Structure formats: structure tokens, C-alpha cells
Amino acid sequence: MYLKELKARQFKNFGEKDLQFSSKLNAFVGQNGKGKTNILDAIHYLALSKSYLNHSDAMNIQFDCDFFTLEGTFDKNDKEDIIFCLVRAGQPKQLKRNSKSYDRISEHIGQYPLVMISPYDSDLIKEGSDVRRKFLDNIISQSNKQYLADLIRYNKVLLQRNTLLKYFAANQTFDASTLEIYDIELVHLGNRIHEIRKDFVKNFLNAFLKYYEAISEGSEKVNIEYVSQLNETDFETLLKDSIYKDRSAQYSTAGIHKDDLLFTITNYPIKKFGSQGQQKSYLIALKLAQLEVIKSALNVTPILLLDDIFDKLDEHRVTQLVKLVNEEHFGQIFITDTHSDRTEDIIKQINSESKVFRL
């Protein structure tokens, strides 16, 4: 599967932009602010029906305009699919495949898988546990619909339990039997989610270690640990033990909604002890492992977007990374860079069909 062609109208800084791509490597070169990332974001938008960068669809409309459109021609098993997207400020977005609107936009997800590696991924290391849980949940949900359903239900029950705790506090009352109804369901769902996350991290770790070792040439010891209160104590006991704390906090303080991933380098948290290059290598290995998992779940090779990823990596790591993505199991790749010399070097190394766009 690859993107053959992109037509963007009034999307961010592009009034009108038509591009034809190579099925293997595409490089966008240009100075800061020329719109290299915006092109990757347009591709992201077409593949996943949302921007990587802006939560609000309307923020992608060119300044002083009323709408944007994107049209992408994907080649999937030698068949062409045309994806069209129209966004008008204040209106629901329209998404069509081959001129037919989707009944639900979620039907589009997974059809044209894509993984983006961008400077904004540093949030995964630097921000709170919710960002890492989201990363984990997103990957697992792509191939496990039951997991997604359990997770949605868990969050709903959790919200109801929290509302009840607030009600108890506001009315200076307490009813253990009502709380127990929620606890039974939370324990049932939470245990299932915990087991799946535990198994997933075990498998994901192997792929991650393989990529980190390849990029760093095995020079550093890294690890991902699945941190969960349920690793130590069963969920039922946890809920019982935390009831006084929950009542005073007026929310549920224990459960799988507190899970985290601990990213380490030489046994210390990479967030505090990793250099910028090590953190970047770590993020790249995480995302390449993500690509591998998606590929085996969907049986389609995701498109890979590499936004400005060479900065802060030393020459060895750049070479290793280029070698890696040049391997057979990677499909279409888009890269952006401000250094045209470096891009030319990379293209020489990759030595396969490629196209360079100068912006």
C-alpha cells in the first residue's frame, strides 16, 4: 500500500499543492517554516482522518479561508482508492472513499495504516503517564476490538464510580453496597485489560530492543517496564484497601487507569538520565516497534513519516537508521530535512527509487 498522489487545497500554508510520490522514498527539503511538516500532516490526515499536530480540524484551514480539501490516491494491492476530505469551519468533516461517504469515520481507520515519527513525540518520554497509556492503548486497540470495548466500558464505569464518590462527599453519606456494584465490573474489566497489557508489553519489548540495538549498535542497555498496581496486589483488594483514600480524594485512586510504562536506560529513567540523542533513538525504536506490531496485526505495511528525525543523532546512528528503514519489510517512506546535503547522502545510501521535493 502506498500513496501515489496528493492534492491539497487551502491546507495550512498551501493554497494549492499537487504532488506525485515515489512508492519507496520521498524527501522534502527546505528551510524552516516552508511547510515540510505540513505535507506530512496532510498525508497523516488522509490516512487516519485527523491531524498529527492539531486537535481541532479547523486549525488546518489556511488563514482567512473557510475550508480545506485533501485528496489522496492510494495504491492498495494494485487497485486505486481515492480518499477525499473536506473540512469547513464549524461543520462535521466529510470523508469519502471513491466518491462514497463513510457511514462512520472509524471505518476508515486501519485501511491505510501509517506511523509518524516527529519531534513532538518527545511528550511520550517527558509528559505524564496518560500519554504513555494512550500510546499503549492505541496500538493494542488497532488489532483487538474487545480490548477497546473493555477499555471504553472501564472508563465509563470509572466515571460513574467517581461521580458516586463525589455524591457521598457532598451529601455526607456512604453506601458500600452501591459502590460494590461498580467495583465488581471494574475488577472484571480491569483484570482483562491488565492481562492484555502485560502480554503486549512482553512482545512489544522484543521488537523495541531489536530496533534500539540496531540504531545504537548495541552500545546501551535499555528496557521498558509495565508498571501497574495490579502487578503487586489483586484488583479487588486494591479497591477495598483504598476506600478511605478514595472517599477523601473523591475519585478512584487505584486501578489500571494509573498504569504506566517505565522507560529506562542503564536501569535509570531515560526521561532524567538519557541524552537528547539517546531519547531520540529511544522514541524512534518505540515507533518502529509500533509499525512492526501494526503491520503484523493488519497485514499491511504502514507508511512511515520521518519528520526532522536526523537532528541530534550522530552520524553512526543516522547510517544505522537509514540501513534499517531500507530493509525489505518497510514500505513507503517520507522524510523531511533542512539539510539538502544530508538528504542527498541518505538517498545515495538507500539506493532505491526516490523523489526529492525542494520547498
Ligand X SMILES: Nc1ncnc2c1ncn2[C@@H]1O[C@H](COP(=O)(O)OP(=O)(O)OP(=O)(O)O)[C@@H](O)[C@H]1O
Residue 54's contacts (CB-CB under 8 Å, 6 or more residues apart) are 41, 60
Q: For residues 257 and 208, give the distance between their C-alpha atoms in angstroms, rounded to a whole number.
A: 24
Instruction: Please give the grid coordinates belonging to residue 214.
Output: 540496531
62 or 160, CB closer to ligand X? 62
CB 270 within 8 A of CB 263: yes
If binding is defined by CB under 6 A, does position 69 make contact with ligand X?
no
**Minimum distance, C-beta of residue 29 to ligand X, in the bound complex (Å):** 9
Smallest distance, ligand X to C-beta of residue 34, A = 4
How many C-beta neighbours within 10 Å does residue 348 have? 10
- What residues between 186 and 225 interact with ligand X by CB under 6 A? none
- Residues numbered 19-58 forming contacts with ligand X, rule: CB under 6 A: 30, 32-38
When binding is defined by CB under 6 A, the residue of 55, 63, 299, 328 that contacts ligand X is 63
Q: Determine the interface stretch with ligand X among 59-67, 147-155, 162-170, 345-353 (rule: CB under 6 A).
A: 59-67
Instruction: Name the residue nearer to ligand X (CB basis): 62 or 223.
Output: 62
Binds ligand X by CB under 6 A, chosen from 4, 5, 13, 168? 13
C-beta closer to ligand X: residue 155 or 340: 340
CB closer to ligand X, 310 vs 330: 310
Please list every residue from 102 through 121 that binds ligand X, using CB under 6 A.
Answer: none
Convert residues 317-346 into a mask of x (bound to ligand X by CB under 6 A) and - (unbound).
Answer: -------------------x-x--------
Helices of type H across the chain:
36-48, 123-126, 129-143, 145-171, 176-216, 235-241, 243-249, 270-273, 276-298, 315-325, 340-350
H-helix segments, 220-269 = 235-241, 243-249
Exactly one of 12, 133, 197, 280 binds ligand X (CB under 6 A); that residue is 12
Please report, for the chain, how many H helices and E strands are present, in that order.
Answer: 11, 14
Yes or no: say if 303 and 43 are a contact pair by the CB < 8 Å rule: yes
* Helix, strand, coil fractions of the chain, as percent rounded to 5: 50, 25, 25
37 is in an annotated binding site: yes
Strand arrangement of the beta sheet that strand 14-20 belongs to: 14-20, 2-11, 67-76, 79-88, 94-97, 100-101
Provide the mask over 272-311, with x wherever binding to ligand X is found by CB under 6 A and - wherever it is not.
Answer: ------------------------------------x---
CB of 32 to ligand X, least distance (A): 3
Nearer to ligand X, 12 or 194 (CB): 12
- Give the pairing type, strands 333-337 and 354-358: unpaired
**Nearest-5° Cα angle at 175, 174 to 177:** 155
Q: Work out how close the CB of 6 gets to ligand X at its nearest, in angstroms, rounded to a whole number.
A: 14
Q: What are phi and psi of 225, to 5 degrees?
A: -115, 135
For ligand X, give the closer residue by CB, 67 or 135.
Answer: 67
- Residue pair 124/135 in contact by the 8 Å Cβ criterion: yes
Comparison of 33 and 269: residue with beta carbon closer to ligand X: 33
Closest approach of Cβ 342 to ligand X, in Å?
A: 13
CB of 270 to ligand X, least distance (A): 24
Residue nearer to ligand X on the CB measure, 146 or 276 = 276
Residue 280 in marked binding region: no
| Residues in binding contact with ligand X, number by CB under 6 A | 17
31 is in an annotated binding site: yes
Give the number of other Cβ atoms within 10 Å of residue 325's Cβ.
Answer: 19
- The x, y and z cell numbers of residue 218, run together, are 548495541
Q: Which residues are annotated as a binding site?
A: 30-37
- Please report, as ranges, the residues that interact with ligand X according to CB under 6 A: 12-13, 30, 32-38, 60-63, 308, 336, 338
Q: Which residues are annotated as a binding site for ATP?
A: 30-37
